[in-house]
Structure 1
Amino acid sequence: MLRFLPAPLRGVIATLMLISNTLLFCWPLFFGALIKAALPFTGARKVINHVMHRCAESWISVNKFWMDLVQPIQWDVQGLESVDMRHSYLITSNHQSWVDILVLQYQLNRKAPFLKFFLKQELIWVPVIGLCWWALEFPFMQRFSKEYLAKHPEKRGQDMLTTRKACERFKANPVSVFNFLEGTRFTEAKHEQQDSPFRYLLKPKAGGIAFVLDAMGDQLSALLNVTIHYPGGKPSFWDLLSGRIKKIVVRFDKMEIPAQFIGQSYDQSDEYRLAFQQWVNQLWEDKDAQLVRLHAEYPA
């Protein structure tokens, strides 16, 4: 354990381990992507994807190692025992920090099917890791402002098409499809700008998961609703690298997806869209209430 070292030095060591780990495992992913392009057969793609996912899981395992090395985090986790590798899940969580992603990977790695995140288009340009996400067929979403769509109406529905294409690829094997419903990290400025009705959350965006349920709802066995709380306050990624995070509280709530939301068209039925938004808002009200309780139980 490296707890005896100064936090900045631990951060440097963890950063070097993360970079080395990423550079080590990126090459099998790039090679696998090239083979898939050369052999676009269903059977070959299935085998190659399996190998690539195992590589990605090994990358996460090494990340778990350096996280434990710099500071053994005290985990308070409930609800994970009902998750397995045999079923596909739709997963969502509150979003406060880049640390959230590593928290989810730490807890779900090799306990649930490999996580596939919906990512902003510009993240493909993140050095090395952006190409890894591309090789692993993470869906990249291009966001357009209302002003842009008003000038370019032909771009409407672009995100829905991206979602449908991604979900078609996901149907071959069990998968965990992940989407941050808030669409961005929580900050007080964003909370105030939105005039969010929630205390610890931004307003949820229902469209993304609605399109997932439309495209592959029959394959998804449940919704895994995750709530993350940092008793020490919202951490930065450097806080994680330097071992400054002492405790993380995670709650997994496995929920049945209402049958009326399976295989429906979110963009073509006003009645369905309203009902779906009400369901999502109720999920967020419950999550906000849970965060209120967690903040009281685990104060900063």
Structure 2
Amino acid sequence: MTKPTELKGSQFLGVISSLALLLNTLFWGVFLYTFIILRLLLPARIAEKTANPVITSIASVWLGGIMWWINHIYKVQWDIDGLNRLGKKDWYLINANHQSWVDIFVLYKLYHRKVPLLKFFIKKELSYIPIVGQAWWALDFPFMRRYSKEFLAKHPEKAGDDMKETQKACEKFSRVPTAVMNFLEGTRFTQAKHDQQQSPFAYLLKPKAGGLAFAIQALGDKFSALTNVTIYYPDGIPTFWDMMCGAFKRCVVRVQEQAIPAEFAHGDYQNDPQLKKAVQDWVTEIWENKDQQMAELDKQYHS
């Protein structure tokens, strides 16, 4: 694996970018909170038809400002291939490798205003971030509560609760076209995590198939395919602060649509060993191909 280069950016630009992001968030946050309160006051069915679309529009405009900044101030060079299936009246199950918070902005670059607003699986702890956390809640982002092995040893009755929450959250998406985004690795790649896991992949952590399987089962046949996204940073993996400072200059993205076996939408992933193995084997094959693709891109840009 090629060693990442040291990314260089402007600390001054980082401060200006932070202020711009803060002001953009505070401005739209006022409108957001207004409609969140309205949503809480209205009956659920009425709120779904009135407040929810406005909340989605506010989030879309907020994201549009950020994407304008990335494209016109940072002037990132994009190399994108395979982005073919687009449309706001379809359901999307999107999977990508995870290396940095910047990945989220890359995915919005690909899909913002081209498909239904992306819904990420979010760690429960992040729901407490001011404005943004409440926006995620109002937009029905699925929140995941990860329990440690130590906690589960003391509270075995909690085992499987995170998957149940995933399934419950995804069931909400059956009513309107939705784009569900899942990072199969469950956490950002670092060499330390890679070594600790003894991952068999050179560029990836081990995938966790459970969340993906539950999303497929919750939405049945709504998903026509899995959208498999590979993100590669030729100049090294940028941090969020690197991006804010303008050090994020190039990004390569490859997109592939992969058929989801019909049997995955039925059955019981958690209690059916054969189904579980079939899903895990399918995910492993996807990950092997992604790892090879990362290796080829690494060779292409650093040979």
* TM-score normalised per structure 2: 0.93
Return the letter of the residue paired with 1:280: V
Aligned-partner SS, 2:229:
strand
The one-letter code matched in structure 2 to 1:249 is V
- For 1:52-67, list aligned pairs within 5 A: 52-67=55-70
Could you tell me which runs of 5 or more consecutive residues in structure 1 were left unpaired when the two chains were aligned: 1-5
Deviation at 1:57, TM superposition (A): 1.1
Supply the distance in 2 between the matched residues of 1:31 and 1:264 (Cα, whole angstroms).
42
Deviations 1:98-127 (A, max 9, x none): 100011112210111111111111111223
My pick for the range that moved more, 190-199 or 159-168, is 159-168
Asked if 1:29 corresponds to 2:36, the answer is no
**Offset of residue 41 of structure 1:** 3.6
Equivalence for 1:11: 14
The residue number in structure 2 matching 1:253 is 256
Residues 97 and 185, structure 2, Cα contact 8 Å, conserved in 1? yes
1:20 is aligned to 23
Name the CA distance, whole Å, in 2 between partners of 1:220 and 1:30: 32
Deviation at 1:202, TM superposition (A): 0.1
Unpaired runs of at least 5, structure 2: 1-8
Which residue among 265, 268, 284 is the counterpart of 2:271?
268
Q: Match for 1:152 among 145, 155, 163?
A: 155
The 5 A counterparts of 1:32-181 are: 32-181=35-184
Which runs of 4 or more aligned residues in structure 1 lie more than 6 Å from their structure 2 counterparts after TM superposition? none
Tell me which amino acid in the other structure corresponds to 1:225.
Answer: N
User: How far apart, CA to CA, are the structure 2 residues paired with 1:14 and 1:152?
Assistant: 44
Q: Which residue of 1 aligns with 2:226?
A: 223
Give distance in 2, aligned partners of 1:31 and 1:91: 31
Give the secondary-structure state (helix, strand or coil) at the position aligned to 1:185.
Answer: coil
SS in 2 for 1:252: strand
Post-superposition Cα deviations, 1:122-148, rounded to whole Å, max 9, x if no partner, equal 111223211221121211111112232
Distance 2:158 2:178 in 1: 28
Which of 196, 200, 209 lines up with 2:199 in the alignment?
196
After TM superposition, the score normalised by the length of structure 1 is: 0.94
Distance 1:281 1:170 in 2: 26
Report the alpha carbon displacement of residue 255 of structure 1 after superposing the two structures with TM.
1.7
Shift of 1:237: 0.8
Q: 1:279 aligned to 278, 282, 285, which one?
A: 282
Read off the aligned partner of 1:287 and give its amino acid letter.
K
Partner of 1:201, secondary structure, is coil
Q: Which moved more, 1:287-296 or 1:257-266?
A: 257-266
> 1:30, CA displacement in angstroms?
2.3
Structure 1 residue 297 corresponds to structure 2 residue 300: yes
SS at match of 2:266: coil
Q: 1:268 aligns to what SS in structure 2?
A: coil
In the aligned structure 2, how far is the partner of 1:220 from the partner of 1:31? 33
Q: What amino acid is the match of 1:296?
A: K
Q: How many residues align?
A: 295
8 A Cα contact 2:98 2:189, kept in partner = yes
Task: Show CA shifts across 1:244-270 (max 9, x none).
Answer: 122100111122211011133111101
Answer with 94-103 or 32-41: which moved more. 32-41
Higher alpha-carbon deviation: 161-170 or 109-118: 161-170
Q: Which moved more, 1:277-286 or 1:170-179?
A: 170-179
What is residue 6 of structure 2 aligned with on the other side? none
The alpha carbon displacement at 1:40 in A equals 2.3
AA partner of residue 81 (structure 1): N
Contact persistence 2:52–2:138 (CA under 8 A): no
Inter-partner Cα distance in structure 2 for 1:299 and 1:55: 41
How far did 1:83 drift?
A: 2.0
Root-mean-square deviation over aligned CA pairs: 1.5
- For structure 1, which segment, 190-199 or 69-78, has the greater mean C-alpha deviation from structure 2 after superposition? 69-78
